[in-house]
Amino acid sequence: MEADQQTIQRVLAGDREAFSGLIGRYSDPLYRHALGMTGSPDVAEDILQLSFIKAYHHLAEVRGRFDAWVFRIVANGCKDWLKNIRRTHLSYDEDDQPSGYANPDEELDRSELRTDLDRALATLQPSLREAFVMKHVEGRSYEEMADFLGTTVGALKMRVHRAREALQVLLEEKYA
Amino acid sequence: MLDNLHSSDGRSENGREQTGRDQNAAPLSDREVPLGRRRTPAAVHAWLDGELPETEVRLGDTKRDVEFWSRIAEQSETRRQMRTPAHLQAQIMAALPQAAPAADVTPWYSRSIELAPVVAILGGAALVAAGAAIGAAVAR
């Protein structure tokens, strides 16, 4: 696989199509982050599109790792959206995703948990939600999270722990 | 909202309605605590952080927590499999300008620099030494 820096050089030299390589390489984890933060596939798509366009315009300013740089653009886009829109109910439609459940009852049960988890996540402060989504939905290590967010492992552990406490209080009665 | 069972019906002696702050000022032991609200045990956090094996927490008081978080983990795993919608990459490419990105126009004095701590300390020490030398020369 061509290194990110080489791809960036090609794009800067005028090879616009080379940018699709960067999109293909990083869009899945970035989409999952935006979806986890906003709870809406449509909003996640919009944030991803605007973020990649912004990344293209500012590509010459990339210093260090492209994945961490573009992640910060997406993460800021999500936080801006959360600041502007206060939503009490968030639910997204995963009809286009394959169903792996054995029967309709089980699927209904999982779907209810998904909706309740979305609602509970929507009540968390953006920084706690971000930490929880990165750790438990995206499956990142604390070290990687610290690298991407420019903070310490200790601070992130604290945020994840606080998010878990809050989610457990909100969901435990129904699901424990 | 918790019921106020005092005969004053939530009002102070002068008849004014008490604020939430007044009520929160009551001693902790007097406050009503909803059942089921308890802290996630430290061992469960350690297990979720990959620092403890599941066998060590799936017993006693923490068994319930493990079952709860296992259900959440199953749900998270489903989300982890999600992919970007197929049309999005083409949509982004179509929205990009035809021109190549502009060269970096940030002036050199505004750009951020990366500095290893050792280099920063040595640089600081050199500046102090130079300052002392200049000061001594001026004083003479």
Residues of B in Cβ contact (< 8 Å) with A13: 100
Q: Encoding tokens for residue A70?
A: 């573009």
Q: Which domains does chain A have, with CATH numbers?
A: 1-88 (1.10.1740.10), 102-176 (1.10.10.10)
CA distance B39 to chain A (A): 6
**What amino acid is encoded at A149 in this protein?**
L
pLDDT of B35 over the 80 cut:
no
Give the nearest chain B residue to A10 (CA atoms): B100
Q: What is the pLDDT of residue A20?
A: 96
Q: What is the pLDDT of residue B22?
A: 43
- Which residues does B92 contact at the CB level (< 8 Å), separation at least 6? A23, A48, A49, A52, A53
Q: What is the pLDDT of residue B79?
A: 86
Give the model's confidence band at A104: pLDDT under 50 very low, under 70 low, under 90 confident, else very high. low
Q: What is the pLDDT of residue A23?
A: 96
pLDDT of B17 over the 90 cut:
no
pLDDT of A126 over the 60 cut:
yes
Query: If you ran DSSP here, which 8-state letter would residue A134 be given?
Result: I
Q: In A, residues 117-146, which contact B (CB 8 Å cutoff)?
A: 117, 136-139, 142
| C-beta of residue A44 within 8 angstroms of C-beta of residue B82 | no
| C-beta of residue B93 within 8 angstroms of C-beta of residue A20 | yes
Return the CA Rg of chain B.
32
Give the nearest chain A residue to B79 (CA atoms): A137
Question: What are the residues facing A139 on neighbouring strands?
Answer: none
Give ipTM to 2 decimals: 0.78
pLDDT of B18 over the 50 cut:
no
**CA angle B51–B57–B60, rounded 5-degree value:** 160
Judged by DSSP in three states, A173 sits in helix
Give the model's confidence band at A135: pLDDT under 50 very low, under 70 low, under 90 confident, else very high. very high
Compute the average pLDDT of residues B58-69.
88
Residues of A in Cβ contact (< 8 Å) with B73: 136
- Which residues does A130 contact at the CB level (< 8 Å), separation at least 6? A37, A75, A78, A79, A149, A159
Lowest mean pLDDT among A83-87, A140-144, B84-88: A83-87
C-alpha–C-alpha distance, residues B13 and B18, integer Å: 10
Out of B72, B92, B100, closest to residue A12 by CB: B100
Element (H, E) at A38: helix A19-38
Size of interface A-B (CB pairs under 8 A): 124
Q: What is the pLDDT of residue A9?
A: 93
Q: In A, residues 66-105, which contact B (CB 8 Å cutoff)?
A: 94, 96-97, 100
Compute the average pLDDT of residues A115-132.
91
Give the nearest chain A residue to B37 (CA atoms): A169
| C-beta of residue A164 within 8 angstroms of C-beta of residue A132 | yes
pLDDT of A39 over the 50 cut:
yes
Question: Most A CBs within 10 Å: which of B92, B104, B114, as the mutation test of the A interface?
Answer: B92
Contact B82 A35 (CB under 8 A): yes
